[in-house]
Chain A
Amino acid sequence: MATPHARSSAAIEREPCHADFLQSTRLLFPAHSNEEAIRPWTVTTLAQTYAPPSAVWQPSKQLSPRIKRLRDEYFAFDQRSRYFTNEVRGYTTGTPWDQLYSFNEWGVTPEAVPFMRGFRDSLRALAETVEFGDELFKLSIAERRAHFFNTVLTKHLPVAILEGELVVGSYFNTALSKVLTKGEQKEWDKGQARFYEELKHRCETGEFNYGAIPGHLVPNYPKILQKGFRGVQEDLKALSAKITDPKHQAWLRALILSCEAPRILSERYAAEAEHLAKKENNSERRHELEMIVRICRKVPWEPAETFWEAVQSVWMSHMLVMAAESYPGPGTSPGRIDQYLLPYYEHDLENHTITREFAKELLECYWIKHNYAYDFQARVGNSQGINSSFGQLITIGGIDRNGEDSSNDLTWLILEVIEEMNLLEPKPNIRLHAKTPEPLVRRVAQMVARSQGSPFLVNFDETSMKGLVWQGVPSDEVWDYAPVGCLENTMIGNDVSGTVDVNPNLAKAVELALSDGRDIRLGLQLGPKTGDPLSFKTFSQFDEAFKEQTRALLDRAIKANNFADALRVNFEPVPYLSLLVDNCAESGKDCRAGGARYNFITVEAMGLSTAADSLAAVKKLVYDEGRVPMEKLLHAIRTNFEDDEELRQLLLHHGPKFGNDDADADQIAREISRLWGEYVFKQVAPASGRRYRGGYLSWNYFISFAPKTAATPDGRRRGEYLSNGVCPAQGRDIQGPTAAAISVGKLGLEAQPNGSSHTITFSPSSLRDEEHLNKLVAFLRTYGKVGGTAIQTNVVSAGTLRAAQERPEEYRNLLVRVTGYNAYFTTLGKEQQDEIINRVSHQL
């Protein structure tokens, strides 16, 4: 059993908070009638409290000097830039047509669209030339990629071992040549240009964004631990002997070649460690370096036998995925590390070759490594709201193959690591289920309560597995799933489900249904002509127009994405990653081309509640009660409520709202949710053969698409944020978290097997002692029965967030949970900060 850390055992102490009576002026809307003007009467005083910086989750004071140094070093970008940064290194074949940057890989960051061409050109301009013989261009693209990658690893990618580190492998942010021939490149460039134009257009209309996004999978690291890349290579050779198809043969050659990649780089790290060991005066460190030499010469090429070897093997394999994909950690997730590292941990403990403390230190070294993904953007600023986008999600807990709890001592050790490190990556997730032991749920609740932010994604096995079974995972395999990135449920080591690939805006379909398919701002006919709403006699006519617009919008999004998918299938294989995805060798296909056992492309809809609340308002106020004439509503939507605040208030306050356990609003939300979830599941991308599936992860699109979406009949003005994930629209859930959970549970979320983002914020005082902590524990457990697939809890007061916004330098540790990932609050863009404060101000 874990020894509770001093800080966590103090969780029942009173939270030291300072009341701060801030004056907040709330301006009222000026009167608009011809009658006497009514002035704003009031200055409202809001009692606000905030936690001082010292009460915010901090790294432990008990970190070992080694870990403290390594952790500080990571944060000291400017100081260490003299000797080490993991910034992007471009590598080109040197051909005049070469390109290193794929627009289609970054389509899910609409805020980056204006800069994409700049990124592309500057990467190419700064790239180092890698010798790549003309004869190699005769090989298949996959073989070329394997050769190119291996050459980069042999001769170009630098190696560095930082002072004191036990897990090595430092440089992994790359921009690799696509290694295309002139003819291929021409075709690819044409495709890129077409993709870019369409993406730009769709981001401007606010209909959707999309792209063939790298990562977002759990590679089969357990296989590497058991077999090593050598074993994998032997299997491939054996398979190759049986294959006659020349294309398949070429593919297997690419895979066989790629098995060398980790060996090449590990040998260079071994040599570096050897070199350092010779110079090292401190005998203890010298011994460590000698161990590193030995370990790097062994893993990941050979199977791992010790815990240290296993951790090193996982890191090297993982870091090379990021290098091979030239995209640092986008949901490239280690998965259930408390399961597959456990045998090594137990083995070493039994043989007394390791102590629990040392195992922890190894894990902490490994933890820091993941964070170096962020050097990728260290110089381009970190306040774009996208800085937390690299979700290398680790998963602990959950059931085992027999349906029993699988948590173990390593689970508890990892919890200590998470708590003591207070780092952004790897992002932690805990799988809870009906049989999760009480102490474990309590421990998690305690950490959530103490963090003043949220260290966790809590994923619920029962509801998550239901969706995965719905999409076709056999029920006897589904226990071994793990979310990737933020909360996207996938299977482990055999599943490429392209989460966050296609992100449609459901609220846009409302706009189009109200305007006969035209974008109100741009005047463009985006959707089908579903009719002038003035001609609709019944709500069901309006509802049908909305549904048709939704289906058509999904068609446009899927069609656009099919193009991106084909571009990638044809030109951008990653043989190294395909080694880590089951079935790619046998199927003869790259993991991006449908080679995996499970192949999906995930559609993550946003604006569910905004759309549902809008339809509910139209149904009740326009049709059922006749209180609002359609003409008046249309005018208000077109003019953004500028001359009809009264109507806006009416819609806002008298329309039913999703998230309140309200039968009408919840039923409408469910219909929308099932409609689109089932609709996309019928579609398949022709190039890769991957089927589309649904999910709810709005990431930050509910902000970027807000100004592109006209005012909506729920009373939202243009520019006000759309709803996020399955969350009720901001501040509209007034019945508390139990009602919100029940509403979400009614959606029938198995039609969104990817999972659903639901963020709930609690006030710190509601978790002030053991008694209240027990209530959170019970809430979490019940949520697993009645609610959605995952929950993210923020325990923070609006006062604390405001203080952090005003004095960011004092609150650099404040982590908050944002639509599926955690982020340092002070590094978020102001819009996103405001959105979180707004949400917290309505906290439950």
Chain B
Amino acid sequence: MGMVLNIQRFSTEDGPGIRTTVFLKGCALRCKWCQNPESWTMTPQVVWYQNRCIGARHCLSACPEEALALTPKGMTIDRRRCSGCGDCAPVCPAKAIEVLGTRRSIDDVSAEVLRDRPFYEESRGGVTLSGGDPLFQFSFALALLTRFKAEGLHTALDTAGYGTLSRFRALVGQSDLVLYDLKIVEPEKHQRFTGVPVEPVLRNARWLGAQPNSVWIRTPIIPGFTDSPENIEAIAAFIRESIPTAERWDLLGFNRLCLPKWQRLDTPFECTETSLVSEQQMTQLVEIANESQVPKITWSGVTREAAAPDPIEHPYVGCDRR
């Protein structure tokens, strides 16, 4: 059993072809710009959607911890009291209360993933294990990937790479493709902005670069955090030297669509004022990224000129996605 955040079918942004992405809960990193703060902890979390609430109040009486209160400003959730038991969610007629995170078995997850097999076969797609970071629920992640491989699916591991080498090796061993996040190379900044040291990330990346697996690098472009030419240059240099197997590098422009998620978790978001990236800047960064010698470099996201395509309104996106 493991803690699953969401399973998203027809996932088109997490690897080749048509895929299903399994988002696991739990991550070691605490990136300031995180798009999926609900994936940080392993415990289920209660959230309240104000636009769905009709004021039926069943949740209030269902809560054994008396952690909920409906005020004129909306619902307050006492997070110290809330145990994440989830009793409040099923009684809500409007699904305005949701518990993020469900314990699910390997069989259960696998059955859902296999439903779209005909689409994977035609599109050369498959399954992507994402998070959080799958490394955080190592045993469950390994069991899932092993099962998917046994079913003959193309597997992709979407990871920030922070974990022990032995665990990382085990997951990579069951993955055809690794989607690897490289956010910041400079150690002090990495520590400050993501909450963890960069060394394990780079060490695992170096090891990965010597493996036969396909690798796609992903870098979130967050103004003021990761968007400096120096940072991209450093990542490019690192990739060139250490990950010659990288087939592709995606630069993912920052957006603020995650803001309501932070609010729903009662967590202050430091990037509220962070601006969108400009198209010109993205183009410049792609230029710099070219020095990595990665064959394919792409960028995506909503830019400041607002000249980008519609944001894809998926309920969940992988870590640092978009």
Contacts and interface: CB of A to CB of B under 8 A. Distances in A.
Interface of A: 14-20, 26, 28-29, 31, 33, 35-36, 38-39, 41-42, 44, 47-49, 645-647, 649-650, 652-654, 661, 735-739, 742, 763-766, 768, 772, 774-775, 778-779, 781-782, 785-786, 797, 799, 844
Contacts of B308: 14, 17, 19, 49, 765
A774 B123 contact: yes
B70 to A, nearest CB: 7
Interface in B301-317: 302, 306-313
B18 A738 contact: yes
A47 B255 CA distance: 11
A463 to B, nearest CB: 13
Given A20-B306, A775-B17, A782-B122, 13 more contacts: A17-B307, A19-B306, A41-B50, A49-B306, A654-B93, A736-B10, A738-B119, A739-B9, A763-B312, A765-B311, A768-B309, A781-B122, A782-B119
Closest 6 CB pairs of A and B: A778-B123, A19-B306, A765-B309, A736-B10, A650-B93, A649-B94
Contact of A35 (B9, B57, B116): B57
Contacts, number: 131
B74 A41 contact: yes
14 contacts: A16-B307, A18-B307, A38-B53, A645-B54, A652-B94, A737-B10, A738-B10, A774-B17, A775-B18, A778-B124, A779-B18, A782-B121, A786-B119, A797-B310
B14 to A, nearest CB: 12
A44 B51 contact: yes
Contacts of A48: 310
A33 to B, nearest CB: 7
A38 B312 contact: no
A44 B49 CA distance: 11
A661 B115 contact: yes
Contacts of A36: 72
A731 B54 CA distance: 19
Most chain B beta carbons < 10 A, residue from A18, A41, A764 = A41
Nearest to A35: B57
Interface in B14-63: 17-18, 50-51, 53-57
B123 A779 contact: yes
A23 B177 CA distance: 41
B310 A763 contact: yes
B19 to A, nearest CB: 9
Contacts of A26: 51
A39 B123 CA distance: 48
Nearest to B9: A736
The range of chain B's interface size is 35 or more
B190 interface: no
A700 B154 CA distance: 43
B10 A844 contact: yes
B307 A28 contact: no
A599 B72 CA distance: 66
B310 A31 contact: no
B312 A765 contact: yes
Interface in B65-121: 70, 72-74, 93-95, 115-116, 118-119, 121
B274 interface: no
A44 B51 CA distance: 8
B272 interface: no
A41 B119 contact: no
B257 interface: yes
A43 B141 CA distance: 40
Given A33-B57, A38-B72, A778 B17 contact: yes
Interface in B281-314: 302, 306-313
A739 B119 CA distance: 10
A249 B51 CA distance: 73
Nearest to B302: A19
B12 interface: yes
Contacts of A765: 308-312
A625 B23 CA distance: 30
Contacts of A16: 307
A18 B306 contact: yes
B50 A42 contact: yes
Contact of B93 (A17, A653, A661, A781): A653
A778 B309 contact: no
A314 B125 CA distance: 45
Nearest to A48: B310
Nearest to B58: A646
B57 A775 contact: no
A766 B307 contact: no
A763 B313 CA distance: 9
A735 B9 contact: yes
B50 to A, nearest CB: 5
Give the residue among B12, B53, B311 with the most A Cβ atoms within 10 A.
B12
Contacts of A797: 310
A33 B95 CA distance: 19
A779 B122 CA distance: 8
A737 B314 CA distance: 13
Given A14-B309, A49-B310, A797-B310, A646 B116 contact: no
A636 B299 CA distance: 51
A667 to B, nearest CB: 15
A39 B73 CA distance: 9
A266 B285 CA distance: 67
Contacts of B257: 47
A42 B57 CA distance: 18
Contact of B119 (A47, A653, A778): A778
A735 B312 CA distance: 14
B53 A28 contact: yes
Contacts of B307: 16-19
Contacts of B118: 782, 785-786
A319 B95 CA distance: 56
A646 B56 contact: yes
B277 to A, nearest CB: 13
Nearest to A44: B51
Given A26-B51, A653-B93, A742-B115, A41 B73 contact: yes
Contacts of A31: 54-55
A557 to B, nearest CB: 36
A492 B122 CA distance: 31
Interface string B254-283: 000100000000000000000000000000
A49 B307 CA distance: 9
B137 to A, nearest CB: 24
Contacts of B93: 646-647, 649-650, 653-654
A17 B257 CA distance: 18
A38 B55 contact: yes
A653 B98 CA distance: 12
B311 A47 contact: yes
A157 B125 CA distance: 60
A766 B312 contact: yes
B309 A15 contact: yes
B36 to A, nearest CB: 18
Contacts of B121: 782
A354 to B, nearest CB: 39
B115 A739 contact: yes
Contacts of B50: 41-42
A785 B95 CA distance: 35
B258 to A, nearest CB: 12
Contacts of A39: 72
A782 B51 CA distance: 36
A38 B70 contact: yes
Nearest to A736: B10
A340 to B, nearest CB: 31
A766 B12 contact: yes
Nearest to A660: B9
A738 B9 contact: yes
A455 to B, nearest CB: 20
A612 B54 CA distance: 26
Contacts of A17: 307-310
Contacts of A653: 93-95
B20 to A, nearest CB: 8
Contacts of A779: 10, 18, 119, 122-123
